[in-house]
Amino acid sequence: MIYREHYIELFINGHKADIESQKSLNLRFNNILYDPAEISSTQAEYSFEISLPSTPNNDKIFDYANNLSKLNKFTTRYTAEVYADGISIFEGSLVLNSYKEKQYNCNLVSVKVYSLDEIFGESVLTDIPWYTPFEGAGNDDHSINWYNSQLETDVVFPLVSYGAFQKSPYYEDDAAKDYTSKFNLDEYNRWYVESFYPSLKMLETVRKAFEYKGYTVGGDAFQNTFLNDIYMSCNLADGQIPEYNLGNPKFGQVSLQSSYSTSQVVGYEQELQYPYFRVHNARGHFGGQYQSSTDTEAWNFPSVRLYDILEGTNTVNAPSYLFQPNEHLIVIPADGYYKIDMTVDVALTTSSNLNVDQEVISDGGSGNEIVTETISLSPSVYENMPIEIALVRNYDDNYELIKGKWNKQYKNGNPASSAVGNAVEWLTAYPHEDIYNATYPTVKNDLTVQAQQSHFGGMRGAPQNKRKYTANELGYVFKDGEIMAYDPAVSDAFICGFSTIYGGIASVRKNGYSWSKSYSENENEFYNNTGYLKLTKSGSSVVESATTYNKNEYISAPTTTINCNSTGLTGSLSCMVYLRKDDVLNLFAVHRAYWNGSEVINYNSSINVSLDIKAATKRNYFYLKQDNYGYYSPIEFDYDLRLTNFLNNETKISEWVQGIFDAFNLETTQNGKNIWINTKKKLNWNLPVSVDIDDRVNSRNAEAVRIDYPKSMAVKYKIDTDEWGFERSVYPPEKLNDPDWKNYGDSGFTEIILNDDEYVTKTSDKQLQFSYTWYDNFNWYAVNSQFEPISENPVTLTIPVIAKSEYMIDGYDYTESMKHDGYGLTQRFWFRPRNSGTYVYTRTYPVEFVQIYEPVNLYTNFRDVYLNLSYKTTEPSLLSEYFNITPYLSSNYVIIDVYLNPEEYKAIKNGCAVAFDSDVYLPVEINGYDASGQNPTELKLLKKI
């Protein structure tokens, strides 16, 4: 066939470029359409190098790149369009390679898609700012039930076993705890909002990633029925704890009033590490005519009784996931600062004396000795019947008294004794402050006391030349009516509270380092204190002087109030303290513990507490100080749920997106800040034949070439053979005992053998970064909102299990199993969960109803459309839907030279079939297409079978 020349026009950045001549342009294109020997191939189009003259018009288009001093002349990509006889045959970009002898040397390439590394840099998945309203459980809009029931949502909350579900034992004693089966969902399960982690829509996550970098995203992938129904498992890095929307009061606040009476309650007795009211029988001390031969001591305030105030009557002002009414405690949801307001009204309701055992010094006839006597104590909250109200965290038999700064000791141990000089009083805040040269009111225990007479200011590690050497220094104490800084070295359980001892005290965990070197943590808290008083002995007097030691500020916080008399205390305090995720908070009333022989002696109190706790911010203390963050400063936690908190905070976006493209054989094109994500075109034998070249090519001039197939093809999931699901998939089960048992598990893919030639070793495999999803059966038993069983007939649920094998074995310790989750295991996929018709109730305030939705591995429209999330050849799968898997072993390539007009080139590169030699061929490669029509084009065709 005689060729016909075509008129070429080149537009660069929308402007028509000047060309030397139609013949000299020599604009030729190569186009790779399809490679049957690869399981996944990429289409690409590019030109040979062309030259454009330096003209005023072209110089302007190229921003005067002909100027040698011009910078960045070769880094710019220009949009380019080529027309042949008015027909668009190319859209892409132009790259300027060089400028020499008044010629711009350029290449045309398919639309530039910046590499994912270029687009996303070092950004990780949790950097993506993706929020959605979330109201937790229940039936409100944007609740778990609401999202799961919508036809189209970007997030769902299915039931997935990321390990053993949380449970209480059905039997427990000192030796063991017994649980029901890990595969029974029954009245012993403990369900929370966190039992239903969000599952994000896969394609929407990809879209949000590109939008985060300023791209507008489209493409046919988003219209694909199957791809649009795929959701993902939660995948977290080691130590990563996803944060919920604590700015929503339901997730980050609790406001309650508790009323409690200790009457008829024995309380829990705990020994104190720092007891009070020492009784000291010194060796050599004369009593009567005899001399004591030993040096002994005892303590008349050695233990306390704790009462759990939240076991009383509670009024919770609004739904709160922090408060757990059945356990009578508050659980902190995330690391950060929490604003706390506490108001107390405490009344001693015992009005008569108590007859109790006390240790006293008595003349035993052969010398003084400490003996136990029954004495009568009058009712007073100052000393005999003190009451402390304390908010504590992670209690573990480690409560220690607030007590305060006043101390009293009875020399003979009997507070009812009228002996002259029996009662001795003195000031020191020890153990909450350094003792200096004051008298010890309690034992030293593990506190590292600074060297007496060589310490100044109560500060740790002061240089030697800054210390003062005086025996007159008695330490530091708080001012009356101000907050006492409770030292965490005494007990790191204490957060804040009140004490009635010697006139009433409000206390908050200390800001800054402990005074004792035994405790190295630096706790930074906010409360108001104008500074402690320094005590110095002057003759027989003690002089107080103001200092800034322990000065602290909580901007605009209400004034601390303390009103105390012998029958009770009222008070209020405000503070902001740093708490950690899963800190367990108890609200205790604390009484002095008494006995009379073997009988517990109690006194009674009536307690009313108002407690407000709000998650405030996770910012650093020093930034908060710098920004004057205070009582009325806004909550800084998110009000809406940041969905990307549930993605891996160590996974780079670029790597994850590339993994998605690999898993579903997706490709991208780009124009500026617009990006299209498309499914790759598969070989389609049913395409219409729109290019007939029989009239211009002689078959005798064609070359037949074999297709060099690899030995095998496969798309392979990343498989962890230690997972429960893989081991359960081994078939037959007896193979588990064989050395090669791993060959019998379900890995979710099929290896397609293409070539049995022993000399062929090449394979075409695609190794994915995602895992196959394994499922197992669970027995669901109906339970009512009081967590009572209402049916003995189970319903079978089939849900994903993402856990190591050992922790899912029923014989493996359940308590230990609950400590190990599968959130760090490889991410995997499922189709949108389906309503199972079952439900659970949460152990929250209030109790809330959650319908269970089961993820599925098989998509079906319940008519004739099916797809499995596998890469198997034995079922409709991702492999058959998105990859080149059909080996045309009996076919071959045919290579011919032919002149093509613009319409034909455009049709062929878009995938139409070619008629040649009275047969049908599919184009796989175009080489050297001459847009001007001056030269023939080489076509590589695949013979249709």
What is the SS3 assignment for 551-610? CECCCCCCCCEEEEECCEEEEEEEEEEEECCCCEEEEEEEEECEEECCEEECCCEEEEEE
574 in a structural domain: yes
Q: Give the model's confidence band at 101: pLDDT under 50 very low, under 70 low, under 90 confident, else very high.
A: confident
**Straight-line distance from the first to the last Cα atom of the chain, in angstroms, rounded to the nearest whole number:** 28
pLDDT (average), residues 262-271? 96
Q: State residue 885's pLDDT score.
A: 67
pLDDT (average), residues 117-124? 94
User: Do 434 and 298 share a structural domain?
Assistant: yes
Provide the strand spans (E) within 237-308. Answer: 253-261, 268-281, 286-287, 290-291, 296-308
Q: State residue 346's pLDDT score.
A: 98
Q: State residue 724's pLDDT score.
A: 97
759 in a structural domain: no
pLDDT (average), residues 94-105? 90
Tell me: pLDDT of 366 over 60: no
Q: What pTM value is reported for the model?
A: 0.83
671 in a structural domain: yes
39 in a structural domain: yes
User: What pLDDT, in 10s, does the model give residues 701-718?
Assistant: 888 887 777 777 889 999
Q: In b/e form, how buried is each residue of 844-880, taking b as 16+ CB within 10 angstroms?
A: bbebbebbbbbbbbebeeeeeeebbbbbbeeebbbbb
Q: State residue 613's pLDDT score.
A: 99
User: Do 132 and 99 share a structural domain?
Assistant: no
Q: Give the model's confidence band at 465: pLDDT under 50 very low, under 70 low, under 90 confident, else very high.
A: very low
What CATH number is given to the structural domain containing 900? 2.30.300
Tell me: pLDDT of 896 over 60: yes
User: Do 122 and 108 share a structural domain?
Assistant: no
User: Do 830 and 810 share a structural domain?
Assistant: yes
Would you say the C-alpha torsion 363, 368, 369, 375 has a positive or negative sign? positive
pLDDT (average), residues 165-174? 94
* Among 191-195, 311-315, 361-365, 847-851, the least confident range: 361-365
User: Do 439 and 344 share a structural domain?
Assistant: yes
User: What pLDDT, in 10s, does the model give residues 876-889?
Assistant: 999 989 987 666 66
pLDDT (average), residues 574-600? 97
User: Do 646 and 517 share a structural domain?
Assistant: no
Q: Which stretch of DSSP H or E encloses residue 841?
A: strand 829-841
Q: Give the model's confidence band at 175: pLDDT under 50 very low, under 70 low, under 90 confident, else very high.
A: confident
745 in a structural domain: no
User: What pLDDT, in 10s, does the model give residues 795-836?
Assistant: 999 999 999 999 999 999 999 999 999 999 999 999 999 999
Q: State residue 467's pLDDT score.
A: 44
Total domains in the fold of the chain: 3
Tokens of 108: 């045309």
**Residue ranges making up the domain that contains 187:** 113-245+639-693+799-887
pLDDT (average), residues 302-317? 97
* Among 303-307, 690-694, 792-796, the least confident range: 690-694
User: Do 515 and 599 share a structural domain?
Assistant: yes
User: What pLDDT, in 10s, does the model give residues 762-800?
Assistant: 777 889 999 999 999 999 999 999 999 999 999 999 999
Q: State the average pLDDT for the chain.
A: 90
3 in a structural domain: no
CA distance 771 to 326: 39
Tell me: pLDDT of 451 over 50: no
User: Do 840 and 854 share a structural domain?
Assistant: yes
Tell me: pLDDT of 128 over 90: yes
User: What pLDDT, in 10s, does the model give residues 908-932?
Assistant: 887 788 888 888 888 888 998 888 8
> What one-letter code names the amino acid at 600?
V
User: Do 83 and 55 share a structural domain?
Assistant: yes
352 in a structural domain: yes
User: Do 220 and 238 share a structural domain?
Assistant: yes
Domain boundary among 619, 637, 655: 637
User: Do 472 and 438 share a structural domain?
Assistant: yes
Q: State residue 524's pLDDT score.
A: 95
763 in a structural domain: no
Give the CA diameter of the chain.
141
**Which of 588-592, 730-734, 841-845 ranks highest by mean pLDDT?**
588-592
Q: State residue 760's pLDDT score.
A: 61
For residues 371 and 69, the model is more confident at 371
For residues 145 and 36, the model is more confident at 145
Q: State residue 39's pLDDT score.
A: 63
Q: Give the model's confidence band at 287: pLDDT under 50 very low, under 70 low, under 90 confident, else very high.
A: very low
User: Do 424 and 509 share a structural domain?
Assistant: yes
Q: State residue 312's pLDDT score.
A: 97
Would you say the C-alpha torsion 383, 385, 390, 393 has a positive or negative sign? positive
* Among 148-162, 452-466, 514-528, 584-598, the least confident range: 452-466
